[in-house]
Chains A and B, each alone.
Chain A
Amino acid sequence: MKLNRRLFTTLAASALVAGLAAPSMAADLAEIEAAGTVKIGMLVDFPPFGIQDMSGNPDGYDADVAKALADYMGVTAQIVPVTGPNRIPYLLSGQVDVLVASLGITEERAQKVDFSRPYAGISIAVYGDNGLEVTDKAGLSGQSISVARASTQDSGVTAVAPEGTDIRRFDDDATAVQALLSGQVKLIGASNVVMSQIAAAMGDRFDKKFDLSSQVQGIAVAPGSDALLVKINGFVEQAKSDGALDKIHEKWLGEPLPDFVKTAQ
């Protein structure tokens, strides 16, 4: 009897969670235009793409792109801060209409979300103490390496790491970098962007060991949001050709949009 009651409680709790999760859907362009606001998810812990300014408002490359996108659509942008691990669930559950969240375009993600043409790019590599002799993926064996969980560098490192690599997954890049700085790991899988900031703070204590990949990032929408995606692609193409993206890239990363982003399809 007692067990039955427990079972019932468990089932009731599951039903509640399922009920909350169920109303999730593709974003509809007409609805967004009628509402006059588009909910855009972006990272705020991924400088310089997503940061918070002095007054706590989202800022950075993604924020500027998000605002330009909303302008192009003729609506106001309502920016919703998301994190690396939860950004896709936010999109799929309809809590945001669009992700301008430095989401690297990968095949496994493309099965879950629909990507626009690339609007930004990052190259990813393994970095570490400059005394350390690691020149290729085989050198990872026996080493500890930190990555941000569920990030592109996580899949990149996991894919090439040989047996005996100690991959430590942290919640975000900041914590993964902290692990490197405090000496808890010897290597890190990180982007050129993150490492340029570390170099600014720490000088040449760390250097690049080998390249993993260069990655283009897309604006993402939930599957089935086709009209919205067409609109977004129109925005990306225009912003690439009229130099708007170059300008934003120059502002945040000190150089125009890299060629591998411009030419990628």
Chain B
Amino acid sequence: MYNFSFQPVFENLDLLLYGAWLTIRMSLIAMVLGLIVSLLGAVAKTSGIRPLRWVMDVYVEVIRNTPFLVQIFFIFFGLPAIGISMSPNTAAIVALVVNVGAYGTEIIRAGIESIPGGQIEAGRALGLSPVQIFRYVVMKPALRNIYPSLTSQFIYLMLTSSVVSVISANDLASAGADLNARTFASFEIYLMLTIMYFLLALGFSTLFAAIRRSFFTYPASR
């Protein structure tokens, strides 16, 4: 019989909790930067400027049709060949932002295109400025429409970040792997990691639900 022993897990819980904090921090940074990339990408894709649209098309298609593992390897091991050398943790965040940016661009673009033309005309008829139209008539309803897809993409980003240990970046999964290498209590450690990732995902869902309640309630309070 395999002897279950959770002692190595509990003795090194601080290590795992620090790993969880690194995962949270890395994910939050990647989410915020990824949201910015996605917004800019979606605006570029729906703009009338052709070359800009082509560039975004190439970016989105290349990233969405290649595995994340290959992307992160390329950024960490490939880019130094042309003089761009990043620390593992920076490279991990860059890879996550590049990856989620492509998916987010498509999601937000879909949201923008879901706004009927008549709604924008109504905004013009009310005498709103172009900036106001973009912000209140297009962006806010668009984000409200695609909010569930965008946030589930963000949670997926947090779960995907568990592979960054392949370039020796530090996160929850690498903390678990290091602990496993020392204690060999694999089942216990990975069971613990499963629970911790599950709780992290639950935490992010709760956070996103709270943001939705305060920013995207409908009908709009103001």
Say yes or no for A165: interface residue by CB 8 A criterion. no
Say yes or no for A22: interface residue by CB 8 A criterion. yes
| B2 x A183 contact (CB < 8 A) | no
Q: How far is the CA of A85 from the CA of B177 in the complex (A)?
A: 8
- Chain B proximity mask over A22-37: 1 for CB below 8 Å, otherwise 0: 1011000000000000
| B80 x A182 contact (CB < 8 A) | yes
- Chain B residue numbers with a CB within 8 Å of A18 are 4, 187, 191
| A170 x B198 contact (CB < 8 A) | no
Say yes or no for B174: interface residue by CB 8 A criterion. yes
| B202 x A169 contact (CB < 8 A) | no
Nearest opposing residue in chain B for A147, CB measure: B168
- Chain B proximity mask over A1-35: 1 for CB below 8 Å, otherwise 0: 00000100010011001100110110000000000
Interface size on B, residues (CB 8 A): 28
Q: Which of A25, A86, A150, A179 contacts B168, CB < 8 Å?
A: A179
Q: Which of B1, B76, B167, B194 contacts A24, CB < 8 Å?
A: B1
Knowing A14-B195, A21-B2, say if A183 contacts B85 (CB, 8 Å).
yes
| A21 x B187 contact (CB < 8 A) | yes
Knowing A85-B181, A169-B178, A183-B85, say if A93 contacts B168 (CB, 8 Å).
no
Knowing A22-B1, A24-B1, A149-B177, say if A182 contacts B77 (CB, 8 Å).
yes
Knowing A17-B191, A17-B194, A154-B181, say if A24 contacts B2 (CB, 8 Å).
yes
| B184 x A112 contact (CB < 8 A) | yes
Name A71-129 residues within 8 Å CB distance of B: 85-86, 88-89, 92-93, 108-109, 112
| A178 x B178 contact (CB < 8 A) | no
Q: How far is the CA of A155 from the CA of B168 in the complex (A)?
A: 16
| B4 x A184 contact (CB < 8 A) | no
Q: How far is the CA of A93 from the CA of B181 in the complex (A)?
A: 16
- Chain A residue numbers with a CB within 8 Å of B71 are none
- Chain A proximity mask over B57-75: 1 for CB below 8 Å, otherwise 0: 0000000000000000000
Say yes or no for B145: interface residue by CB 8 A criterion. no
Knowing A22-B1, A25-B1, A170-B166, say if A184 contacts B181 (CB, 8 Å).
no
Q: How far is the CA of A170 from the CA of B178 in the complex (A)?
A: 10
Say yes or no for A146: interface residue by CB 8 A criterion. yes
Say yes or no for B180: interface residue by CB 8 A criterion. yes
- Chain A residue numbers with a CB within 8 Å of B77 are 178-179, 182, 184
B187 to chain A, nearest CB (A): 5
- Chain B residue numbers with a CB within 8 Å of A112 are 184
Say yes or no for B19: interface residue by CB 8 A criterion. no
| A149 x B181 contact (CB < 8 A) | yes
Name B93-147 residues within 8 Å CB distance of A: none
| B76 x A184 contact (CB < 8 A) | yes
Nearest opposing residue in chain B for A84, CB measure: B181
| B181 x A168 contact (CB < 8 A) | no
| B166 x A150 contact (CB < 8 A) | no
- Chain A proximity mask over B196-214: 1 for CB below 8 Å, otherwise 0: 0010001000000000000
- Chain B proximity mask over A171-190: 1 for CB below 8 Å, otherwise 0: 10001001100111000000
| B1 x A168 contact (CB < 8 A) | no
**A112, A168, A175, A184: which has the most chain B beta carbons within 10 Å?**
A184
28 residue pairs bridging A and B, Cβ less than 8 Å apart: A6-B202, A10-B198, A17-B194, A18-B4, A18-B191, A21-B2, A22-B2, A24-B1, A24-B2, A85-B180, A86-B186, A89-B187, A92-B2, A92-B184, A92-B186, A146-B168, A149-B165, A149-B177, A150-B180, A169-B168, A169-B174, A170-B166, A175-B166, A178-B77, A179-B77, A179-B167, A183-B85, A184-B88
Given contacts A10-B198, A150-B177, 14 further A-B contacts (CB under 8 A): A14-B194, A14-B195, A17-B194, A21-B187, A24-B2, A88-B184, A89-B184, A108-B182, A109-B184, A170-B166, A178-B77, A182-B77, A183-B80, A183-B85
